[in-house]
Structure 1
Amino acid sequence: MDNNWKIGLKLAALVIVAVWLVKTFLVTSCFIPSSGMENTLYQGEGVLVNKWSYGLRMPFPSFLGYHRIGSCEVEKGDIVLFNDPGATQRNKRLEWRRVFISRCIGTPGDTLMLNREMIDSGDEVLSPDSKSLYVYPSSKEDLMRVILDAVGLKDNSLVGYTEDGSYIRSFSHYEFYLVSQKAGQRIDFVSLNSKLSREVHPYVVPRKGRPVKVYPWNVVLLCNTIVSHEGKQAGVRGDTLWVEGKPVSSFTFSKDYYWMASNDPVNLCDSRLFGFVPEDHIIGKAWRIWYASRKERFFQRIQ
């Protein structure tokens, strides 16, 4: 009996060590906490993340320093798991920070055209599941509900209201096609994204060793990045960036950075909330669904 107990303990210890080794050096997992990545990933689904997609980030970077084996860059369109780079997590060690999962739409050196809501207004579509916001008259809400039910989108909820009382919903390109075809001329849709496209400015995603020029529209974002991830004192006076007590017209970053976006612009858990994501915060690429919301999605490859 004693031998069986000892064998059981040894087996349990081996299993625990094996799981830790796999999660640390091969594959980790996470659950999708919100609807921000629909229709690619649904809330509550479990996702396997390949830790070698961009090279393995060695364990305990806060203690041992940041090192990556077989390092390679994230590609535009990839769905990426990364540690929260936000200022509220600054006092936590990197490996203990909460994690986010979003789609990369800006790689080091890219120039993004962002509007005043920090939404990319470029024409490139990285995923058919990326959603846009549409406005329609509140008087058409009853008809809208009938149409949503008819095309199988009855779970699509209102996301807000405009100042004049119109209703706002988010649809992917395909979802909007279904709804607009069914509605015909009965509902007058206006893309809210086009309304927000005023005051569009270019934002350069920092690349290691390359200077980024300071402009009035990017000065706060650059300042926050320098303070949070470059380890320097910085501040903004008027439209001028001050670094280590000196005014600068450009700044050369010591790391590569990325810009992450949710599929649904309603969800703010992306770079609009926390800014550029440094390379050392990247954990890996979303690989397969291991806990699915629907049977046909089990172990489906994530695109």
Structure 2
Amino acid sequence: MGQVDFGQLHFAQLHFDYEAVIFLAFLVTLLSWGVYQFQKRRTKKLNKWGRVSAQVGAYLPVLLVVFSFRSFAFEPFRIPSSSMMPTLYTGDFILVDKFSYGLKMPVFHNTLIETGSPKRGDVFVFRSVEDPSIDVIKRVVALPGDHVKYDARDKMVYINGEALSQTETKAYQGFLDDISPTGLLEKTETIDGESHQMLTANGISHPFQFTEMVVPQGHYFGMGDNRDYSADSRVFGLIPEQNIVGKARMVWMHWRPSAFVEGLKRVGTFL
């Protein structure tokens, strides 16, 4: 039996928190635009600070569009690990719909308008419960109020006493990224009538301490599709609702020079 340590588990950390940086830049340009407008109304000739404010404030429309688009509509992310194989691969660039789960206040992330909530089977992005500056991607497995159980012996997930169907076990022979583990088995898993492909590793013993629990209100249980190589709610715990960023919609680009042609085939893959 092989042994996996936590160092081999992939968190699928996605990117540095650019939202705060863009928000700060937006505030600076807004303040500069205000200084320029104030001085222009008071004097016909701008001083040094007025001219600088005019130049900086000129970027306000651009930053307003970028900030609004990233905060309320869609945001791109790059996948850096194999924890979501075979759904997502290292080098995939995905588009995340930030409006699916509610219109949220930028930076502070409190919900302004309810537009929906995660469903079982959704692939979603959320801020790490351990380091909120890091974004993570997993699949929603259990909702608030669900009883979730993971049996490490048969690698089955049980929701409210019923096992999630896993069929068509076969050796995985699909697309491999640069850090793909070997000896994987591919299965079709079904959650609430929707099917997706997932992987387990043959001959792997599990370090996961999690067995079962009832998910409290305001929290979600997420897992990676590459089950034996994913650090997810079995490791770091539940995902608070306020940490959720949005729903992953599609692969809009793939970039890995070692598999350029194969990567092109992934462009336009819907999740």
Tell me the TM-score normalized by structure 1. 0.53
Q: Does 1:300 align with 2:269?
A: yes
Note if contact 2:220-2:240 (Cα within 8 Å) is conserved in structure 1: yes
> Aligned equivalents of 1:270 and 1:152: distance in 2?
23
List per-residue Cα deviations over 1:87-143 (Å, max 9, x = no partner). xx3xxxx5xx210000010111111122369x65333148x8xx98x9xxxxxxxxx
Q: Which has the higher strand share?
A: 2
Q: Where does structure 1 lack aligned partners over 5 or more consecutive residues?
A: 1-6, 135-146, 160-167, 175-189, 208-255
Q: Does 1:16 align with 2:63?
A: yes
* Residue of structure 2 equivalent to 1:124: 164
| Equivalent residues of 2:90, 2:177 under 8 A apart | no
Matching residue of 2:143: 107
> Structure 2 residue aligned with 1:203, among 200, 208, 213?
213
8 A contact 2:221–2:239 mirrored in 1: yes
Give runs of aligned pairs for residues 35-74 of structure 1, distance below 5 A: 35-61=82-108, 66-74=110-118
Aligned-partner residue type, residue 267 of structure 1: Y
Distance, in Å, in 2 between the alignment partners of 1:287 and 1:78 is 9
**Per-residue deviation, 1:299:** 2.7
Pairwise CA distance, 1:192 = 4.8
Deviation at 1:16, TM superposition (A): 2.9
Q: Deviations over 1:14-54 (max 9, x none)?
A: 33331121001111111101011111111111111001111
Seq. identity, %: 26
Corresponding residue of 1:140: none
Matches within 5 A, 1:137-286: 159=181, 169-173=183-187, 192=203, 201-207=211-217, 256-286=218-248
CA distance in 1, matches of 2:88, 2:226: 11
Find the aligned partners of 2:242 and 2:210 in 1 and give their Cα distance.
29
- The aligned amino acid for 1:48 is L
The question of whether the paired residues in 1 share the 8 Å contact of 2:185 and 2:202 is answered with no
8 Å contact kept, 1:115–1:200: no
Q: SS in structure 2 opposite 1:102?
A: strand
Deviation for aligned residue 1:155: 6.8
Change (3 A) 1:13 1:102: same
CA separation of 1:152/1:264 partners in 2, compared to 1, >3 Å: closer, same or farther? closer
In structure 2, the residue matched to 1:78 is 122
Q: CA separation of 1:44/1:11 partners in 2, compared to 1, >3 Å: closer, same or farther?
A: farther
| Rounded Cα–Cα distance in structure 1 between residues aligned with 2:264 and 2:226 | 24
Structure 2 contact 102–111 (Cα < 8 Å) conserved: no
Following TM superposition, by how much is the alpha carbon of 1:265 offset from its aligned partner in structure 2, in angstroms?
1.8
Question: 1:220-251 deviations in whole A, cap 9, x for unaligned?
Answer: xxxxxxxxxxxxxxxxxxxxxxxxxxxxxxxx
Q: How many residues align?
A: 195
Segments of structure 2 that go 5 or more residues without pairing to the other structure are 1-53, 189-200, 256-262
Counterpart-to-counterpart distance in 1, 2:128 and 2:64: 27
> How much has 1:12 moved relative to structure 2?
5.0
Label 1:266 to 1:300 Cα distance change in 2 as closer, same or farther (>3 A).
Answer: same
Cα distance change on mapping 1:268 and 1:158 into 2, 3 Å: closer
SS at match of 1:173: strand
Q: 1:47 to 1:103 in 2, by over 3 A?
A: same
Alpha-carbon RMSD: 3.9
Q: Residues 200 and 16 of structure 1: is their aligned pair in 2 closer, same or farther, counting only changes over 3 Å?
A: closer
After TM superposition, the structure 1 stretch with the greater mean CA deviation from structure 2, 281-290 or 8-17, is 8-17
The 1:27/1:115 distance shift into structure 2, 3 A limit, reads same
Return the offset for 1:261: 0.4
Do the aligned partners of residues 156 and 296 (structure 1) sit closer, same or farther apart at CA in structure 2, a change above 3 Å counting? Answer: closer
